[in-house]
Amino acid sequence: MEPALMIWTVSSNPIANMYGPWFLLFYFVYFLCIIWLTLKAHHLYHAVVSRSEPEDITVNLPNKIDPYFIAWLQHGKERVLRLAMMRLSYEDLLVSGQKQKKNYMRKSATNPDLIQEKQRMLNSVESLTLSCFEEKYEQSREWAFNSLTSSCQRYKSQAQQQGFIPPATRDNIFALIGYTGLILLLGMGVYKLAIAWGKGFDNIIFLSIMAPAFSWLYYRIFLSNRAERPELTEKGKVFLDKLYSSVPRDKQSLKQLDIAMLAVALSTANSIYSQCDFGRHAYKLYLIGPTGSAAAATKSDFSGGSTGTSATSSSNSTSDSDSSSDSSSSGCSGCGGCGGD
């Protein structure tokens, strides 16, 4: 007598008939395999592309450098927003909220003519950021963060043209790989749930949690990049290293707004914020938490505890802003001012 052959159908196969706890174990291993295969595909692509890159990379620094472009290239959209808010605070146009310190509002206009003059000096990124805040209502940074998408997309195109980040084809290939993995992962969970419901099983709470949880985790790892932090090519790394070594960081140089903004944009450590007047506005806006001597300096500069401190800070901000607008003519640094378009 010949043994009966098992006929595989959509509702009858080893996966569909698998006992619940065993399927949960299988699904966990399946999840790890999808992650491994995605990483392997990324590594394979990098290996192929790296063979075509030249070994000797030479980069020339441009005469005019936009600190917002550098901030995006080094850290992503979040640093662009931080830099713009610091500049607005430096110009005395933006203040932290009174009720919640991490909410913000425009500075009340006591001198409308002066405010309008300062606003005319802002570039497109700064003007766009300022437009997201109101004078009478405290707001979070979320709206301003989302408003910078188009500006950061422009920086991304510029970086791709200059070879500082991988081309758009790389992003498309990685997106295709990522969404394929996500569909396979979520599809397996949905398939098993549908089979269980069709057979009248209702004890599916663990699978109902695991399927969306694994899919969300996979999405966060491979497809979500909220801060839009770019992945640099070797040329991009050489460019930033060369630019970093060329920017002076002595106290006298950091008094110039264009140099201070570029130093903050390039920095990977918070120590730069306590070394210059411009950097301390990150503490003033609670964008980073001051510690130690930085906290003491910030309290002294911005709390108004000593007579005339706030007025002096505002006066220095205005005078530094005026001097920075003339920096290209005075030959202060040659890095292109504060990133005008």
Chain-centre distance for alpha carbon 147 = 13
Query: Within this chain, do residues 74 and 149 fall inside the same structural domain, yes or no?
Result: yes
- Do 71 and 117 have their domain in common? yes
Report the number of distinct structural domains present in the chain.
2
Mean pLDDT score, 101-105? 85
Mean pLDDT of all residues belonging to the chain: 82
Q: What is the pLDDT, as a whole number, of residue 135?
A: 85
Kindly state whether residues 256 and 239 are assigned to the same domain: yes
Domain that holds residue 182: 20-52+172-222
- In this structure, the answer to whether residues 322 and 195 fall within a common structural domain is no
| pLDDT tens readout for residues 285-308 | 999 876 555 545 554 555 444 333
Lowest mean pLDDT among 18-22, 106-110, 157-161: 106-110
* Same domain (yes/no): 250, 313: yes
Q: What is the pLDDT of residue 152?
A: 93
- 128 and 91 housed in the same domain: yes
How far is Cα 137 from Cα 273, in angstroms, rounded to an integer?
A: 28
Percent of the chain exceeding pLDDT 90 equals 51
- Of 55, 49, 73, 54, whose CA–CA distance to 165 is shortest? 73
Whether 5 maps to a domain, the answer reads no
Residue of 72, 50, 95 whose CA lies nearest to 285 = 95
Q: Token pair for residue 93?
A: 């146009």
Q: 141-156 in b/e burial notation, b at 16+ Cβ within 10 A?
A: beebbeebeebbeebb
Confidence of residue 8 (pLDDT cuts 50, 70, 90): confident
Cα–Cα nearest to 152, from 225, 257, 91, 62: 225
Asked whether residue 213 is domain-assigned, the answer is yes
Q: What is the pTM of this model?
A: 0.74
On whether both 198 and 322 belong to a single domain, the answer is no
Across residues 328-341, what is the average pLDDT?
42
- Tell whether 284 and 145 lie within a shared domain: yes
pLDDT tens column, 185-231:
999 999 999 988 888 777 788 889 999 999 999 999 998 876 578 88
Pair 96, 131 in one domain: yes
Domain boundary among 154, 187, 222: 222
Same domain, 112 and 198: no
**Residue 73 maps to a domain:** yes
